[in-house]
Structure 1
């Protein structure tokens, strides 16, 4: 096992503060008519930045972890390609311009989103003192709960659009089942799941999308 103490951990308070300020700026900026035009294109940048910082906190860079990274990125991306072109996985939807350029009608940054969310939720639930199979279900359910807040905001920010409204139950079932597969891989692979930043990023995701949802109804 190759475990080292990342440099980022030594500056944990500073890193956490920068992340919090970045997300808070996004919350305010996206709700300001004069600032939203500048903040909307930054959404994929913040996603990538969040994943980069999260990985800076990862301590166990052994082959098993690289397997998880590759499988999650590939699965996350191509399940979206399948979903967009067939409607089979999540329902009928299409990506907009909010997440940047697309390849095969899917923005590559969506793979980063799958990796960010599964890593965060998986790390948080790894602390639960329950059997592994229950951790898998708990982490997958946490993903779906988060998606409940993501969906209305994603449509508003032109991340994606649903052809049928409201968001179909098929979407949440698809998220849950795919998450179960990814979390089964996560918990099965022998690498350290501890990450000091993971819970903060999950909290920030909830705060960001919940606040944006509330602003939509004010």
Structure 2
């Protein structure tokens, strides 16, 4: 009776195709964001593509964290804390005007809890994680990396804000973004970036820089055309 193939037999096959994982993930990210860009700006049906925003965000996070090599208790705690801090910061902001200013969320980001989309917590996690990863490519001290990560988040937010107002993500009272938004973002983001630097989590994710760059390119392109 012939021997039954065992798991080690598959190892060379897995190794062979592993090198394609990053290019494939990058291609999927680019295609989905390119389709979203075309849909919002040129399809004539922007409302339809706005409804796909939650799916795009979930796909991006699925790809990003598929490249996480160590799902341990430290990372799960980190993810939970960043998600909760980001989400409840927005709850406080929406209901009190503190931290960021006076704004309300639209329907484009999906299901809400306390008037804040649940996906906002996931978005905070994605941004803190990807910008933290990028800052770690430098040789700065931990506090310098935390500041750099925070500034990368602020740069992205600067281009997101007008896009968000144009496509019903959220809207600011008076139709303009107050300075308090960027101050509040800096404070919250800096605290979370410092936590990222101190957290005992595995800090290498090959896809993270590309997630940030695709997001930046997506919002910058729409920002220019608005």
TM-score, normalised by the number of residues in structure 1:
0.93
Give structure 2 stretches of 5+ with no counterpart.
1-13
Task: Tell me, yes or no, if structure 1 residue 172 matches structure 2 residue 182.
Answer: yes
CA distance in 2, matches of 1:176, 1:208: 22
Give structure 1 stretches of 5+ with no counterpart.
none
* 2:77 aligned residue (63, 67, 87): 67
Instruction: Give the secondary-structure state (helix, strand or coil) at the position aligned to 1:164.
Output: helix
CA distance in 1, matches of 2:115, 2:47: 23
Aligned match of 1:77: 87
Contact 1:23–1:208 (8 Å) recurs in 2: yes
CA separation of 1:9 and 1:144: change in aligned 2, threshold 3 A: farther
CA separation of 1:120 and 1:54: change in aligned 2, threshold 3 A: same
Aligned match of 2:44: 34
| Moved segments of 4+, more than 6 Å | 5-9
Aligned match of 2:122: 112
Matches for 1:105-184 after TM superposition, within 5 Å: 105-184=115-194
Q: Which has the larger radius of gyration?
A: 2
What is the CA deviation profile of residues 69-126 of structure 1, one whole-angstrom value per residue up to 9, with x for unaligned ones?
Answer: 0001111111100000000110000001111121111010111110111111011111
CA distance in 1, matches of 2:113, 2:202: 33
What is the CA deviation profile of residues 121-167 of structure 1, one whole-angstrom value per residue up to 9, with x for unaligned ones?
Answer: 01111111110000001100111111000000000010001013421
* 2:60 aligned residue (28, 33, 50): 50
Aligned match of 1:208: 218
Aligned match of 1:97: 107
- The Cα of 1:33 is off from its aligned counterpart by 4.5
* 2:96 aligned residue (86, 89, 93): 86
